[in-house]
């Protein structure tokens, strides 16, 4: 299992609007494309939106990301989601099987 840990710095005063777009449009689209969203968080200062999405392998990431960005649903949002984001940090992580 591969996860993307995604941290977005959200423009001041835009967190509520971003969460609305994410929960109504982006998260459901991920579900339809079989890209599970594993969780969503904000930092205490409410200027960072942190979320994780799951992939079965690193090899499937490019095709799944392309399916997302090329989808009519994502295209219909235009720059609404990205206009909220000042900075993105994306890390690819994997679980450790340590017992």
In-domain check, residue 99:
no
Strand boundaries in the chain, DSSP class E: 2-10, 37-42, 48-55, 85-94
Phi/psi for 91 (5° steps) reads -120, 135
Give the total number of structural domains in the chain: 1
Q: Which CATH number does the domain housing residue 63 bear?
A: 3.30.70.100
Q: What is the pLDDT of residues 24-79, one digit of tens each?
A: 999 999 999 999 999 999 999 989 999 999 999 999 999 999 999 999 999 999 99
Under the banding of pLDDT at 50, 70 and 90, the label for residue 95 is confident
Q: What is the pLDDT of residue 17?
A: 97
In-domain check, residue 8:
yes
Q: Which domain holds residue 56?
A: 2-94
Q: What is the pTM of this model?
A: 0.91
In-domain check, residue 23:
yes
Residue predicted with more confidence, 99 or 30: 30
Q: Which run of H or E residues covers position 21?
A: helix 15-21
Q: What is the pLDDT of residues 81-91, one digit of tens each?
A: 999 999 999 99
CA distance 10 to 45: 11
In-domain check, residue 39:
yes
CA distance 38 to 54: 7
CA distance 5 to 90: 6
In-domain check, residue 36:
yes
């Amino acid at each position: 299992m591969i996860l993307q840990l995604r941290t977005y710095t959200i423009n001041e005063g835009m967190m509520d609007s971003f969460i609305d777009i994410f929960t109504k449009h982006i998260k459901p689209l991920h579900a339809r494309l079989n890209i599970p969203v594993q969780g969503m968080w904000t930092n205490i200062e409410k200027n960072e939106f942190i979320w994780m999405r799951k992939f079965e392998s690193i090899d499937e990431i490019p095709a799944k990301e392309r399916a997302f960005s090329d989808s009519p649903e994502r295209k219909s949002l235009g720059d609404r989601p990205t206009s909220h984001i000042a900075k993105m940090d994306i890390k690819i992580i994997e679980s450790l099987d340590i017992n």
